[in-house]
A and B are shown apart, each in its own frame.
Chain A
Amino acid sequence: MKKYSLPVAIGVLIVGFWLSPDFQQIAAGVAIFLFGMLMLEDGFKLFGGGFLESILERATSTIPRSLGFGIVTTTILQSSSLVSVITISFLSAGLISLLAGVGIIFGANIGTTTGAWLVAGFGLKVNISTYAMPMLAISIILVFQKSKYLRGVGFALAGLGFLFLGIHHMKEGFDTFKDQFDLTRFAMTGLLGLVVYTAVGMTATVVMQSSHATMVLIITALAAGQISYENALALAIGANVGTTITAIIGSLTANFQGKRLALAHLIFNLLTAGVALVFISPLREAVDWISAGVGIPDNDFALKLAVFHTIFNSLGVVLMLPALRVLIRFLERTITEPELDLSKPKYLSEAVDEFPQTIEIALRKEVKHLYDNAVELITHGLNIHRHDLFATKDIAKTIAKSRTEIEFDIDEKYEHRIKTIYAAIVEFSTRAGSKNLPQDVMDRIYVLRDVAGQVVRAVKAVKHLRRNTSIYTSRSSGASSVLYNGLRTEIGRILAEVHRLDQADPDDRSQLWLDEEAAQVETDSVNSIRVVEELIREGRLEPDAATSFLNDSGYGYSAMRNLLGAARAYYIQPDSAMAEVERILALDEDEVEEVVSDVVSAESPTS
């Protein structure tokens, strides 16, 4: 089916062009209109560099806010499809709740009606191309500017210009087309007309992937008298159903939440269409009554269609809002959350690929997922239970007590819970690198990829440690047990400190907290060699056991350095100016030692 659709579409166009040169004008109008929508989308992506996404995150805390957000963004972007794709992307990245997502979709359905008003109230009343031309001319100057914001404005302006130009060509096309062909011959009345034209509206929207373009086409054809008002109403209902295809396609690569949202969109639009079809007569009367009330002439069918479009979409929202929570429960029952598989990436999917902010946030969450898996492997690898470690007030004592070996295959766990997720992170960030994202976003993505690398290296280091640690800490082996317990304690301390940082209120925490830990690691690393040398001299440690420990402590300190490096980079301030402050204030190992020794010498009594 799919492989025939392209030749069929091109064939239909060619036959159409051959039959009527004016059809070319209409088809070109649709193409220019769609091109304008793409440019508008590109413009907002560039202009925002994440602005839309950051608003989305803040503006969806309640249902009315989500609804309002859907209305406003769809009005600005003039594309409910784009808003639904963004929403799916955000939902998949775990940034917004399903409830907020459904609220946005409802709002988008109202916002999309502004397009009909734009065309019927403005596009048909004035020579819209006179606005399009200067817009396009100015936009091209802006598009060639260095600043991404100016380029963004340029693309958005060009998009709007092309939308206007597309409308103009469709209007012109229909005006001349009617002299050659009388499409009203195909007008159908009654139930059959309703069903057939609803199906036509739906198909046209599926093909063009834009209910907006279909609505413009319907309104211009209606204004030119090429379709009857009754059939136009059915076409508008069909367009509303057809528009769900974009969300359905978008959800194919999304996680279960994205799929739930696409289903919500389909249910909402099918239900609204059903209600509109059943109550078409009272709705028509309501349109006439409202139109008369606001002074729309009885024969201005284009504006009346805009009124109809607004009424039936708003009606859908009014009907569905009280049942919103029921709908959410239905969605959750129908599309169940897959069982959590720790070996698979949780947040990285193609659905979050589209927008800079979702890419970064999804990656950030995935790196945290990797870190959580790593903590499990590291603690179990050292025969410690995470919960004991994070709850205790005396880490050394708790670790000394943890003498039972935790049975598990660390190599197998490493392959499944670390390596697969790390591979997905590397692949995802490489893919992001080819997306022409803003430089600051790209920099942060590469930092996150490097954080993942450090986490993996820490786990690898602990893998090397595990065998001897288990041997020397599960039973008393004199000095070796003391040394290995000391090493376990130091690693445990770093994990606990990072955990504390993670649990702190983001407004209170600072990666500067780790400066002392980092310096302590270096001091302990040097001291451990001295301690081993002394133990050998005293005859309390065999040289074989000493070399084993020195090798293992090398791995241990490498794990600690990697864990600290990862945490410092991961918890750096999101605000780049604040991050600069932290970078300037950060103390390295020598500076920490200098601070401590200065204070100690100042406090010690002079002889």
Chain B
Amino acid sequence: MGVEKYAEKLDDYFERLEDGKAKKIKPSHVLRVISKLKKKAEKLNEEIEVTEKESKKDRLKRKVLIAREHIKRAELLLDKITPAVK
């Protein structure tokens, strides 16, 4: 799946960080966002379990997919900003 826009946003962030126009993202910041997204995905899954209407179920499933994609990208971001252990 193409992540060009994600890469562009990341480049833009690092540029702004270098110019002192953005606040430095620490691993803890990303971890907090991941935790929020995981909680949301869990809640959506619970909602899917009790939903009967098919159209609503489909919509909720779409939301879960998006949340998972957010989490995936957040994990990539976490790798990118976490200093490598030598």
Contact = CB atoms under 8 A, between A and B. Distances in A.
B22 A580 contact: yes
B25 A581 contact: yes
B1 A583 contact: no
Given A394-B53, A513-B40, A598-B1, A584 B10 contact: yes
Contacts, number: 85
Interface in B2-54: 2, 5-6, 9-10, 13, 22-26, 29-30, 32-33, 36-37, 39-40, 51, 53
Contact of B65 (A507, A576, A577, A595): A595
Interface in A380-402: 393-394, 396
Interface string A502-523: 0000011110110110011000
B9 A583 contact: yes
A580 B25 contact: yes
Interface in A558-598: 575-578, 580-588, 590-592, 594-596, 598
A584 B78 CA distance: 12
A591 B2 CA distance: 8
A599 interface: yes
Nearest to B21: A439
Interface size class of chain A, counting residues whose CB lies under 8 Å from the partner chain: 20 to 34
Given A585-B33, A594-B1, A596-B62, A577 B13 contact: no
A581 B2 contact: no
A586 B74 CA distance: 10
A599 B74 contact: no
Contacts of B62: 516, 520, 596
* Most central of B22, B59, B70 by chain A CB within 10 Å: B70
A562 B28 CA distance: 32
A584 B6 contact: yes
A520 B77 CA distance: 26
Contacts of A594: 1-2
Contacts of B51: 393
* Most central of B1, B10, B29, B69 by chain A CB within 10 Å: B69
B53 to A, nearest CB: 6
A592 B66 contact: yes
A199 B62 CA distance: 75
B29 A584 contact: no
Nearest to A593: B62
Contact of B29 (A508, A513, A577): A577
Please report whether the interface of chain A is mostly helix, strand, loop or mixed according to DSSP. Answer: helix
Contact of A595 (B10, B40, B53, B69): B69
Interface residues of B, number: 35
Please report whether the interface of chain B is mostly helix, strand, loop or mixed according to DSSP. Answer: helix
Contact of B36 (A510, A575, A586, A599): A510
Given A516-B63, A594-B2, A595-B66, A577 B24 contact: yes
Nearest to A515: B66
B23 A576 contact: yes
Contact of B32 (A393, A519, A578, A587): A578
Contacts of B77: 581, 584-585
Given A577-B29, A587-B70, A509 B22 contact: no
B70 A585 contact: yes
Contacts of A581: 25, 29-30, 33, 74, 77
A440 to B, nearest CB: 9
A514 to B, nearest CB: 10
Contacts of B22: 576, 580
Contacts of B9: 583-584, 586
Contacts of A515: 66, 70
B39 A508 contact: yes
A393 B48 CA distance: 12
Nearest to B7: A584
Contacts of A583: 9, 13
Interface string B59-81: 10011011101100110010000
A357 to B, nearest CB: 18
Nearest to A588: B5
A598 B77 CA distance: 21
Contacts of A512: 33, 37, 67, 70
A591 B51 CA distance: 26
Interface of B: 1-2, 5-6, 9-10, 13, 22-26, 29-30, 32-33, 36-37, 39-40, 51, 53, 55-56, 59, 62-63, 65-67, 69-70, 73-74, 77
Given A510-B33, A591-B69, A594-B1, 17 more contacts: A513-B40, A513-B63, A516-B63, A519-B66, A577-B23, A578-B33, A580-B13, A580-B23, A581-B25, A583-B13, A584-B10, A585-B73, A586-B9, A592-B66, A594-B2, A595-B65, A598-B1
6 contacts: A393-B51, A394-B56, A515-B66, A580-B23, A587-B66, A595-B1
10 shortest interchain CB distances as A-B pairs: A576-B23, A577-B23, A516-B66, A577-B29, A595-B69, A584-B9, A510-B36, A516-B63, A581-B33, A577-B25
